[in-house]
Amino acid sequence: AQSVTQLGSHVSVSEGALVLLRCNYSSSVPPYLFWYVQYPNQGLQLLLKYTSAATLVKGINGFEAEFKKSETSFHLTKPSAHMSDAAEYFCAVRQQAGTALIFGKGTTLSVSS
């Protein structure tokens, strides 16, 4: 069965620093992979998705993620953190269209000035 592991439940960075949020997946077939962001007391918003096209995926708000099959990873990065990036981030996997997403436990990103 597929699963997702997010390494680090809490990541703290300074404003302007690199953001790196880690996600590793387990899947027996090529997966569909997603990153979502959640602000307090709101629903989840899609940041970006990988669906077997380009391995480097660009999303909204300056985020990007690289699919690395050999490492079974899909880490989320942003070159320069903004205060507005402080939120909870979820990595998710889906093995085939129509099935529910499987989510990681989330990583809370804090950004300090």
Partner 1 sequence: SQTIHQWPATLVQPVGSPLSLECTVEGTSNPNLYWYRQAAGRGLQLLFYSVGIGQISSEVPQNLSASRPQDRQFILSSKKLLLSDSGFYLCAWSGGTSYNEQFFGPGTRLTVL
CA dihedral 67, 6, 112, 19 (to 10 degrees): -10
CA dist list (Å): 77 to 10, 18, 68 = 15, 7, 14
User: What residues numbered 65-94 form the site for partner 1, per CB under 8 A?
Assistant: 90, 94
**Which of 1, 28, 70, 98 contacts partner 1 by CB under 8 A?**
98
Give the binding-site size for partner 1 (rule: CB under 8 A): 23
Cα–Cα distance measured from residue 29 to residue 6, given in angstroms and rounded to the nearest whole number: 20
Instruction: Tell me the per-residue interface mask from 9 to 48 with partner 1, x by CB under 8 A, - otherwise.
Output: x----------------------x-x-x----xxxxxx--
Strand segments, DSSP code E, in 39-106 are: 44-50, 56-58, 64-68, 73-78, 87-94, 102-103
Told to check if 104 binds partner 1 by CB under 8 A, we report: yes
Told to check if 51 binds partner 1 by CB under 8 A, we report: yes
Residue 9 CB, nearest distance to partner 1 (Å)?
Answer: 8
